[in-house]
Amino acid sequence: MVKNKKDKLIKNLIVLFSGTNLSSFINLINVTLLVNIIGLKNNGIIFLALSYIAIFNLLFNFQSFTALMRFLPKYESKIDRLSLFFQGLYFDYISAIIAFVLSYIFIDPIANYLSWDQQVVNAIYILNFSILFTVTGVFDAILRYYSEFKYVVYINLSTAVFNLLALALGWLFKFDFIYYIYLTLFVSVFKFFIYVYYSYLILLKNELLSVFNFKKLKLFNKDMFKFNVYSNISLVIDLPVGQLTPIIVNQYLGLNDVAVFKILEKIGRIVIQFGNVASQVMAPEISKDLANGEYHRVKKLSDKFGFILFSGGMIFLIGLYFTKQYWLYLIIPNGDNYMFAVFLYLFYCIYKVSFFAQYYIFIFAGFEKETVKILLVINALYLMAIFPVIDYFNLNGVIILLIIQASLVFFCKNMTMRRNKGRLFAG
């Protein structure tokens, strides 16, 4: 039984790693193409618009992925699982509509207050519609819970290739800047509909749709709802780190540095993808094992993967450093000026991703309230520190602050688990 689980885990990891490598490579080409086609300033406009939208996505557009990963192992019947999926779906859609409306209402007041030019405002008005298609939490949960990781690969590859072809088309026919704003929106729409299609296939395959009866669905699970709210609030409290930082960078350093920071995030996402692969495969297993009181197995496996990711990441980072003359200038114009920031940010991503399992262990073991408290305190400190840091140390200071913030979160979560070991074995 254990051997079969291990073989399945390894097989899923291989499928996802191979697909992630290819889609990450294509996405890197996409970033390079976009920078070279529209320039650093126009990239900054798109990225600033996306940062504004991301704030409302995070504040109000809740996703039920984590809640479903925790509660699905507790229910065996198909109608109960289908009920959880439906509850997650209407929860996510209602929150997406709220996020869309509020984002639309606040565009002009915030743009006027921060003195954004009309190009940024126009980009926000267009890209705001992407909020309605950023409703993938339930679909993610369906794909991962039923271990259909090949579909995750298909979705990521299809989206990356679609974006690449559309960028090439824009470059070939010399389309105006507005084309690339609409393209950013259509990529979100395209990815959403692929998610829907593959999720439908999985529900069909596992015969969940065959038991569908709206009258029998339990559309409200109090425990799941409470957990869903807490887990999403913990993400909201992470707002200063994830979404406010680019806006603060823009106010202090300008659009060029916003573009560089967002490009760093995209490069870093290639590193983070490897941690995402491991977490996507392991999240359902962590949830099931903790539900069965098998914390030691989870801890051993997560420590092993964390060490592999950190070691592999550092080797990758060293390789990038010695080959920087071949790629850095392609991705960031005047890349030599940002060399330290690039490698420091990549180290931050490697460091952060090596603790990927801690998030799921912490939240699935029922520490969602503690998560909120930890993030509330640490991110308040981050928000107080970022203004003097960015004033004196520019972009490099922001990245150093991100490393300190991540370290404090890891330390506090680890100490909390040590003091409450009984909850880790509670099942």
Q: Give me the residue label for tokens 């395959």.
A: 205
More confident residue, 418 or 212: 418
Q: What is the pLDDT of residue 125?
A: 97
Q: What is the pLDDT of residues 28-50, one digit of tens each?
A: 888 889 888 998 788 888 988 99
Give φ, ψ of 337 to 5 degrees.
-70, -20
What b/e readout covers 77-103, taking b as 16+ CB neighbours within 10 angstroms?
ebebbbbbbbbbbebbeebbebbbeeb
Share of the chain above pLDDT 90, in %: 26
Among 13, 53, 4, CA closest to 246? 53
Q: What is the pLDDT of residues 272-294, one digit of tens each?
A: 776 666 666 677 777 777 777 77
Q: What is the pLDDT of residue 161?
A: 95
Q: What is the pLDDT of residue 62?
A: 86
Q: The tokens of 384 are what? A: 């107080």
Q: What is the pLDDT of residues 249-264, one digit of tens each?
A: 777 777 777 778 777 8
* Least trusted range by pLDDT, from 298-312, 374-388, 391-405: 298-312
Whether the Cβ atoms of residue 69 and residue 139 lie closer than 8 Å to each other: no
Q: What is the pLDDT of residue 65?
A: 85
Average pLDDT in the 360-364 region? Answer: 78
More confident residue, 285 or 150: 150
More confident residue, 130 or 234: 130
Confidence of residue 364 (pLDDT cuts 50, 70, 90): confident
Confidence of residue 425 (pLDDT cuts 50, 70, 90): low
Q: What is the pLDDT of residue 193?
A: 95
Distance CA 164, CA 416 (A): 45
pLDDT mean across residues, the chain? 83
Q: At what angle do helices 222-237 and 78-113 cross, to 10 degrees?
A: 30
Among 129, 375, 402, 374, CA closest to 236? 375
Q: What is the pLDDT of residue 238?
A: 63
Confidence of residue 395 (pLDDT cuts 50, 70, 90): confident
Question: Residue 99: pLDDT above 80?
Answer: yes
Distance CA 240, CA 228 (A): 21
Question: Residue 1: pLDDT above 70?
Answer: no
Q: What is the pLDDT of residue 426?
A: 53
Contacts of 285 (CB under 8 A, 6+ apart): 5, 9, 298, 301
Q: Where are the domains of the chain?
A: 2-424
Q: What is the pLDDT of residues 170-219, one digit of tens each?
A: 999 989 999 999 999 999 999 999 999 999 999 899 888 877 777 777 77
Average pLDDT in the 149-168 region? Answer: 91
Q: What is the pLDDT of residues 3-29, one digit of tens each?
A: 555 566 666 666 666 666 678 788 888
Strands (E), 84-154: none
Distance CA 319, CA 346 (A): 12
Whether the Cβ atoms of residue 58 and residue 231 lie closer than 8 Å to each other: no
Q: What is the pLDDT of residue 182?
A: 97
Confidence of residue 243 (pLDDT cuts 50, 70, 90): low
